[in-house]
Structure 1
Amino acid sequence: MSTAASPSPLERALFATTARLISCLVTESLTRAYYLPLHLPNAPIGVAVLLAGNVFPDNTAFDAGDVIAVVALRHPPVFRGEVKSSRGREIGLLDPQDLHHLVFLTSKTIIEGTSEHEELCSSIAKSLGSAGWTITECFQLYLCTDPISLWNTFATGINLDQELSVDIASELSSAVKWQTYSYQHPPRAPLFRSSSIDWEQSIVEGHPTHPMHKTRRFLPPLPDFLPGSYDLYHPKLRLISVPRENLKITYNFEALSQPILDAVMKSSGQHFSAPDGHVVVPVHELQLLHIEAKFPDAIIYPAQFSLPLLAQQSLRSVLVPDAYRDLHLKLGVGIKLTSAVRTISPESAYLGPRFSAKVVPVLALDPNVVTVAKELASVVHGHADGEIAKHCSAIIRESPESTSEERQERLIVCTALVESGHAGVDGHLPSVIRVFGLDNDDKRAFWFKKFVQVFFQAFLPPMLQNGVAFECHPQNCVARFDVHTKELKGFIIRDFGGLRVHRETLLATTGVELDFLDGHSIIAADLDDVYTRMYHTVFHNHLQQLIRVLGLHYNGRGWKIVRDQLGRSIPPDHPLYKAWLCPDRTSLPGKCFLRMRMAGMYRFHLHAPFPNLIHYQGADE
């Protein structure tokens, strides 16, 4: 990787994916990692020493042969416990923002091309030796320039199934490819006055810790589109029809989709109707090949019956400007982004409208602070195999974004707040800092305190009282700001696929029995299960990234704000207080993206113990 010159878009993309891969390997305890400080001028503050995935050392000997990688760090990581051994302090959480761009793999044979970093590598070897590691003369570090090399080293070491290893490597390669394109063609820096859809489409890097953060995998029979060859933000809506008896329809889907048919007829100048006994289903144009291959009962209508769409960040949620003003569509699309194929399961199509109609109105929600984007109706194919049925599906959902100007509100999807690297004036700054003028720590802390206050007012009550955790990660949350003062007024929460619901508590507090299909992943076995889902989405994912971008992580200031606000929001006698705030809760179950991918899971979660960030005090650098 370049050091003297600015890195190229490809080099930046390689490191962006590598850093996320390292973060998951360490934080998910797939590898053990130890922190060693360095004492060189103009050098990284320290290094993370990653052991092979099949090495779980006790208090006996450490050998350099157990090391698979050494990663230079800009900042100290979050440690696992207080114990420090002579070999270094064990790392519990390693975030991509902790990492310097220098990543080294190990070799027992001489490799050319390491002289550029000879002094640093020599210092690392000496630090390992003085810390009690067995270092031989043939131990050598060489620069790792891509995530595939690191992944292959790890996967080989744990004897991972070869086919699975290759498959994951291809997804990492896809992430690099699409991230490179994003760096080469950055979106314009959004302004406070920019529309909601402009903010949705301003994403440069995406998920802060998922190694497949930019993966775009088009499932066969779709071709593998190259970046730039298809505009995922501006697709077309197409129409099919399916015999009514072969569909599962929830609520008044046909009436709510009629404006689409009216708009299609107006646009095409031709009358449109389906055969008797058929129901018209709107589909994403990319999904037509899946429809043709999987559903012989479907009639696909010509391209003249189409409408332009504006895709939100998820790509499957789309605005239909010619047909809807206060509604939009969620369409099943056979594309894999990060962990999941972006279709709509029969379970989700069944639950969403019922949850919206029966549960949302009785939850402990303050309508002045949080708006739930209700799912009003849905359709999904009745194929016996849900993995096939999910490819023919659609949900009609409320779209508060489209009418925000009438309420004097500016709506910004929370993921966009932490993004940087845009084109335009000050595009290198994170949007939250640039747009709200947060040019010093005090301004950032004040802004963040308000954000946390309103956030907890919005999302804690339904969990505290009703046993319902919304999946309020930043892609599902839209912040509502006063259009004149820029003051945060509240949030919109959307998408029910990641809910966690304790049915017994919901029934006891509202009198409503949750209506769902057996096997749905949202059902919690107990309240701790609900708290686990909420911890990951709120603290590990949403607030951690915002705190880091605001410069309030390493000094501990952001986490103190979180603790103070939680203390005011959670009654001391509530079980959530013990689950999150009790001093002895030093770790909490965290969602493991890479472990889940290695196990072929995306709907049901795998967890490992992550350091409890609520108690984080800051790093003494």
Structure 2
Amino acid sequence: MHRPSSDEAEVAAELADVRPELAPRHAAELPGARAAVLTRLWRALAHEPLPWVARREPSRDGLTLRLSDGRRLHGPRADPYATAAYVTAVDLDGTPYDDPARLLTDLAVPHGAAFAAELGHSVASLALSRAGQEGHSKEWPVLEWEWEQRVVDGHPFHPNCRSRPGFSVAEQLAYGPEHRPVVTLGLMPVRADECLVTGAWPDGMRDGERLLIPVHPWQAEHVLKRPRDPYDTGIAAHPLMSLRTLALPGGPHVKTALSARLTSSVRDISVYSIGLSAILSDFAETLAARTDGLLHMTRTLGAATAGSPDLAAVVRESPQAYAGPGERVVPVAALATIKQSPVWFAEFTRLALTVGLRLLELGVALEAHGQNLLVVLSADGRPVRLVYRDLADIRVSPARLAGHGIPVPELSGRIVTDDVPTLRRKLFGSLVAGGLAGTAGSGAALRGALEAVVRDLPRTGDLAALREEPVPTKALSLMRLSPGTAGDQWADLPNPLVSEVF
């Protein structure tokens, strides 16, 4: 019998206090949540460049990892593009493990204890997310935020898919989009002359000479340490899949500072990104004009910071602004909840690669994962256009832009690079190994779609790399196990166009 981890027991105890009616469903969801997180962890162990994995030995009955200390870890063959929870247990020197947190604890690798704790939290929170889905409508959503709230399991490939350290059970239920709450954002007054503002800050978020900066209630309580003003009625909003970005009914989206570690990163809003937001928003319109109407980019309406990443907000257009009569705008991460045919998926793949490769050739690499990239579906469900949001992590090549006669915007910092591998990693890692793979659900389905479309795409060096080279992906587990290493780290996945490993 599985012995509950401390995280599972802690969440169960809290749940019994705040929502006792959910406790039986939470307990029932725990085995599936362990398998889902273990599957994600096994992908990392099988494919990421972990320094303590000496070699990998595939065989007919699965995959064996020879560890540098001589131990042997055995599990099933690892499809790097699979999203179903197919790993229910792995074997470490004769001992079976069905719990990812216990496995990583007993592997005893450098920095493994902290990551193991996050895995335990991810399992318990994922079970909580799934437990709250009973009675959820199976019909296609009508409202935009309802699509976002269909993404129950979080990141399709990160073992920390639902890790929310610092959030109590009550806070997860109150703020997590999969629980479908309405969140009241506070409005914190700050003198305008004390803020960095770009774009046009909305009139409705001003009070004379003061800006009213939307603040997430978790941030107000835990980071800013400011109790809610009883006279501040706030703004009722619906959380989107990133949790810190919320939709105002009938209005724009508000990205709030949320200084908590969600999945991999602490979700604040840097002064750097605020300073560039208006320039990037204007630049985005130039880019979209080069896609023959296949891509829209949501405009940043205004961005403000009170000199700190802990007190900042970005107000931007809703992607719904780009839907025509009868059309729906759906985040790519939510496509896995829609039943699709191989022909439909190939059509979507063609659209996504056409736009992504065209912009890459011009000099811009989108971070086109399932959260940032949305697809416009026609009334009969066909993918007809794309919408991209959140420009903060794109990469821009001045050399490529200049080569195509596109004026180079006044950008600086990490966003600017002419390094070709960096540009390709940004796009292919997010779009192919992320958005497309997460929608496909398996290497075989991804290969089928790619084979159907790549032969018809314009021949460029980037396309050749996509067809022939390993597919880059962020080494998400390695990054959590390397706290002293700044920036992204990468793994190479077998290219589904040239590999038969899945």
Specify the TM-score bucket, using the shorter chain as the normaliser: 0.7 to 0.9
- The 3 A distance-change label for structure 1 pair 349 and 600 is farther
Matches within 5 A, 1:103-502: 103-106=90-93, 141-154=94-107, 156=108, 158=109, 160=110, 164-186=111-133, 188-218=136-166, 224-226=168-170, 229-233=173-177, 234-253=182-201, 256=202, 258-260=203-205, 273=207, 276=209, 278-289=210-221, 292-293=224-225, 301-321=229-249, 325-362=250-287, 365-366=290-291, 368-382=293-307, 389-401=308-320, 404=323, 407-418=325-336, 431-433=337-339, 438=340, 444-464=341-361, 466-483=362-379, 485-502=380-397
Tell me how far 1:514 sits from its aligned partner: 2.7
- The 3 A distance-change label for structure 1 pair 50 and 364 is farther
Q: Which amino acid aligns with 1:194?
A: V
- The 3 A distance-change label for structure 1 pair 104 and 77 is closer
Residue 216 of structure 1 aligns to a residue whose secondary structure is coil
* Inter-partner Cα distance in structure 2 for 1:487 and 1:603: 41
Q: Do 1:560 and 1:617's aligned partners in 2 also have CA atoms closer than 8 Å?
A: no
* Inter-partner Cα distance in structure 1 for 2:498 and 2:81: 16
Q: Which amino acid aligns with 2:204?
A: P
TM-score, with length taken from structure 2: 0.85
Tell me how far 1:300 sits from its aligned partner: 7.0
> Which residue number corresponds to residue 10 of structure 1?
30
Tell me how far 1:355 sits from its aligned partner: 0.8
Deviations 1:34-72 (A, max 9, x none): 2232xxxxxxxx2322222x35xxxxxxxxx521x222x
Deviations 1:397-441 (A, max 9, x none): 11132673x5321122111121xxxxxxxxxxxx221xxxx5xxx
Unaligned 5+ runs, structure 1:
38-45, 56-64, 79-92, 107-140, 262-272, 383-388, 419-430, 439-443
The percentage of counterpart residues that share the same residue type is 21
Q: Which amino acid aligns with 1:399?
A: S
TM-score, with length taken from structure 1: 0.70
Tell me how far 1:312 sits from its aligned partner: 0.8
Q: Do 1:409 and 1:480's aligned partners in 2 also have CA atoms closer than 8 Å?
A: yes
Tell me how far 1:379 sits from its aligned partner: 0.7
* Inter-partner Cα distance in structure 1 for 2:321 and 2:238: 12
* Inter-partner Cα distance in structure 2 for 1:304 and 1:193: 32
Q: Which amino acid aligns with 2:425?
A: T
Deviations 1:175-197 (A, max 9, x none): 01111112222262442353221
Residue 153 of structure 2 aligns to a residue whose secondary structure is coil
* Inter-partner Cα distance in structure 2 for 1:601 and 1:355: 31
Tell me how far 1:33 sits from its aligned partner: 2.9
Tell me how far 1:612 sits from its aligned partner: 2.3
Q: Do 1:359 and 1:514's aligned partners in 2 also have CA atoms closer than 8 Å?
A: no
Tell me how far 1:371 sits from its aligned partner: 1.2
Deviations 1:340-360 (A, max 9, x none): 122211222222221111343
Q: Do 2:333 and 2:438's aligned partners in 1 also have CA atoms closer than 8 Å?
A: no
Aligned residues between the structures: 471
* Inter-partner Cα distance in structure 2 for 1:461 and 1:148: 42
> Which residue number corresponds to residue 120 of structure 1?
none
Tell me how far 1:331 sits from its aligned partner: 0.9
Q: Do 2:122 and 2:160's aligned partners in 1 also have CA atoms closer than 8 Å?
A: yes
* Inter-partner Cα distance in structure 1 for 2:397 and 2:96: 49
> Which residue number corresponds to residue 267 of structure 1?
none
Q: Do 2:35 and 2:86's aligned partners in 1 also have CA atoms closer than 8 Å?
A: no
Verify: 1:567 aligned to 2:455, yes or no: yes
Deviations 1:507-543 (A, max 9, x none): 342442232343x3x2224223211211111211122
Tell me how far 1:11 sits from its aligned partner: 1.2
* Inter-partner Cα distance in structure 1 for 2:456 and 2:391: 28
CA RMSD of aligned residues (A): 2.8
- The 3 A distance-change label for structure 1 pair 291 and 29 is closer
Tell me how far 1:545 sits from its aligned partner: 2.5
Verify: 1:606 aligned to 2:501, yes or no: no
Q: Do 1:9 and 1:184's aligned partners in 2 also have CA atoms closer than 8 Å?
A: yes
Deviations 1:538-594 (A, max 9, x none): 211122222236xxx43xx641431342232132xx321332224xx3x24431111
- The 3 A distance-change label for structure 1 pair 22 and 335 is same
Residue 236 of structure 1 aligns to a residue whose secondary structure is strand
* Inter-partner Cα distance in structure 1 for 2:263 and 2:288: 31
> Which residue number corresponds to residue 138 of structure 1?
none
> Which residue number corresponds to residue 595 of structure 1?
478
> Which residue number corresponds to residue 19 of structure 2?
none
Q: Do 1:326 and 1:402's aligned partners in 2 also have CA atoms closer than 8 Å?
A: no
Q: Which amino acid aligns with 2:192?
A: R
- The 3 A distance-change label for structure 1 pair 375 and 616 is farther
Q: Do 1:235 and 1:309's aligned partners in 2 also have CA atoms closer than 8 Å?
A: yes
* Inter-partner Cα distance in structure 2 for 1:305 and 1:416: 32
Q: Which has the higher contact order (CA 8 A, sep 6+)?
A: 2
Residue 479 of structure 1 aligns to a residue whose secondary structure is strand
- The 3 A distance-change label for structure 1 pair 317 and 190 is farther
Q: Do 2:302 and 2:315's aligned partners in 1 also have CA atoms closer than 8 Å?
A: yes
Q: 2:47 aligns with which of 27, 32, 46?
A: 27
- The 3 A distance-change label for structure 1 pair 542 and 511 is closer
Q: Do 2:298 and 2:318's aligned partners in 1 also have CA atoms closer than 8 Å?
A: yes
- The 3 A distance-change label for structure 1 pair 594 and 280 is same
Tell me how far 1:468 sits from its aligned partner: 0.4
Residue 173 of structure 1 aligns to a residue whose secondary structure is helix
Q: Which amino acid aligns with 1:241?
A: P
Tell me how far 1:228 sits from its aligned partner: 5.3
Q: Do 2:399 and 2:418's aligned partners in 1 also have CA atoms closer than 8 Å?
A: no
Unaligned 5+ runs, structure 2:
3-24
* Inter-partner Cα distance in structure 2 for 1:47 and 1:617: 14
State which structure, 1 or 2, has the greater radius of gyration over its C-alpha atoms: 1
Q: 1:66 aligns with which of 53, 71, 84?
A: 71
